[in-house]
Each structure stands twice: as structure tokens, then as C-alpha cells.
Amino acid sequence: MASGTPAAMEQRIMHACGHEQVHVIYGFDAQVARKARWLRTTQCRACFIADKQVEQARMTAEHETAIAHLDLPELIGSDRQISWATTIRASRLAALTHDPVTTADADSASCLHITDAKWWIDHRSLPPEGFLAKAREAGTGGGTSQVAHIPIDIA
């Protein structure tokens, strides 16, 4: 039987990174103590976010290296859309070029010509097959010529 009543407790936690942060922990005394103990082994929120940003930047650099051989067109949109879509496009293309199936598929090239930043953002969470289908649609949508076959390596 747990003693006392569950309550919201404000606790100052000294995190593993050396920063103090106030947490509101809800529960019985023993649960609060356990949660507080666990929190002390973690990073504070600021360090957690900073670490994530470093990791994101590292991933983006890795993706950009993986697709450095591609001659990519400039994206079109607002500054914020372009910056976000550039990261999305790099990660998407890096994944596609790493996949032996999609790399051999000329369809992966049809997305290279899509310059609408919003399009990249809108389709960021599609799985590879769904994404390639959308890219094919976008590449052939109402055009006079087939845009499906674009060489990936432009010397």
C-alpha cells in the first residue's frame, strides 16, 4: 500500500550535465523520489536540445556528403521553407542513394527536379515507395514531355 496521497511536487534537479532545472513531478512520494533520481542521471532540457541540434547538423553534413555528386537545383519557397526543405531533401536523397533498389531505379531521379520547397516538406514523412510514386506524378503532371528519365550523375 502506498502511503500519502499523490501530489504535484516541485523539485530542483541537478542534472548530469551540471545544470539545475525545476521539475514538477506528480505522484506518490516514492514515485517522485524515483523519478527525481532518474532525472539526475539525465541532461537538462537545454543540453538535450543542444545535443539534438548537434546530432541533426552532423546528420545533415553526412547527407550532404552522400549527395555531393548530385547536381541539385535551387529550391523555391520562403527562406524558412527552403532551409527546412534542403535538410529534408538531403536526408531523402541520401537514403535513396544508399538503397541499392531505389538507386538503380530511374524514378529516384524524377524527384531531383522538384524545386518546390513546400512539396518536399509536404511529402517528408512518406515511405520511399510512396514518395517515389508522388515524385513520378509531380514529374509527369500535365507536362508535354516525360520527365521521368533524368541522369543522376551530371558530369
CA-CA-CA-CA torsion sign (26, 28, 34, 37): positive
User: ∠ at Cα 130 (85, 110), nearest 5°?
Assistant: 60
Lay out the site mask for Zn ion across 9-48 (x = CB under 5 A, - = otherwise).
--------x-x------------------------x--x-
- Total of residues contacting Zn ion (CB under 5 A): 4
Rounded CA-CA distance 40/112 in Å is: 47
21 vs 60, beta carbon nearer Zn ion: 21
84-117 in b/e burial notation, b at 16+ Cβ within 10 A? Answer: bbbbbbbbbbbbbbeeeebeeeebbbbbbebbeb
Nearest distance in Å: CB 51, Zn ion? 9
Nearest distance in Å: CB 59, Zn ion? 22
Contacts with Zn ion in 47-76 (CB under 5 A)?
47
Nearest distance in Å: CB 16, Zn ion? 8
Binding site for Zn ion (CB under 5 A): 17, 19, 44, 47
